[in-house]
Amino acid sequence: MSETAVRAAARDGRLREELGRQQFSSQLHKALELTDDETAIYDVVANALRILQPDSAAELLLADNSHAHLELALSTTDSPRACPVMEPSQCAAVRRGQVLHFGDPNALDACPHLRKHAEACSALCAPIGVMGRSIGVLHVLGEVGAAPPEAAGQELETLTTLAGERLGLIRSLESTRLQARVDGLTGLLNRRTFEDEAHQALQRGEHVLILADLDNFKRLNDTHGHAAGDAALRLFSDLLMETVRADDLVGRFGGEEILVLLKDSDRDAAEGVLQRVRSGLAAAVERSGLPRFTSSFGVALASPGNRIDALMSRADQALYVAKDTGRDRWVYAGDPAPALVVAT
């Protein structure tokens, strides 16, 4: 074959490789656009890895919410986690922000963590970034001394870049949705979201609505400052969330008032929750070092079809009685109102 033919064949080969990369990038982009949560993104990454590196083990490590630890997001094998790096700052690929290949774990310039693998191997490591910040690494293993194809690094970089962009968008959308649903100070559902979800729940079953209010909250703010008041409200909110079930609803009604809907519950169940909250609050306040404070509760029992606004009104009336009769107690709004029962 003449030199001209050789050059032409090499050029054609490069063109085919470039076309293949462009097709892969286009298909990957379309696949990621179809995802609507992080799990779906990981599935796309796993499928892409099976195409790019069908004979290699791979894993994706991503930083947790604190950005202090790397957690396993996906693995293409059932084997235990291979890469021992536990923090983003410990990963050379993350620190340098570029794809790195380590062919021999015993080489002078090999990643020191590669030597800690259970079995000797090579590694191709591609950092993954979200909104300009490297938060993890895609770790592809191979045989010792095996050099990856020339295009492998570019393909992995394309994969991590596009996956990172989609991951950033999904997280941004989720953050926006979360901000629209929750109260910024306490992390509880905001009033609108609580009312919407409570309205749906009230269409069926029997439930209990509780309206809680911190006693003498204005005095706490005026005497110890708004920072102490905010801390007290957060502490009380956390206690409520820890006490109720995951399916129950807890939302900030406004100011220092908090709403709780105990789903599929009765008076006995509400009694247990209220007792645990009351005793737990005293212990939590003592541990926190905050000035002592208590709470009062108005309780309304709900039947199927009850309106949330009517229940809130009944719970509010009961709460008024709890405040008026000494605070640090709960009052049940009778069914039908206005019969009231005081419990201390």
Distance CA 13, CA 27 (A): 21
Handedness of CA 89, 90, 95, 97 (dihedral sign): negative
**Residues recognised as catalytic:** 256
Which ranges constitute the DSSP H helices of 34-137?
A: 38-52, 92-96
- With contact defined as beta carbons under 8 Å apart, do 63 and 41 qualify? no
Position 190, amino acid: N
Q: Collapsing DSSP states into helix, strand and coil, what is residue 342? A: strand
Distance CA 88, CA 114 (A): 15
Distance CA 327, CA 293 (A): 11
Bridge-based pairing of strands 330-333 and 295-302 is parallel
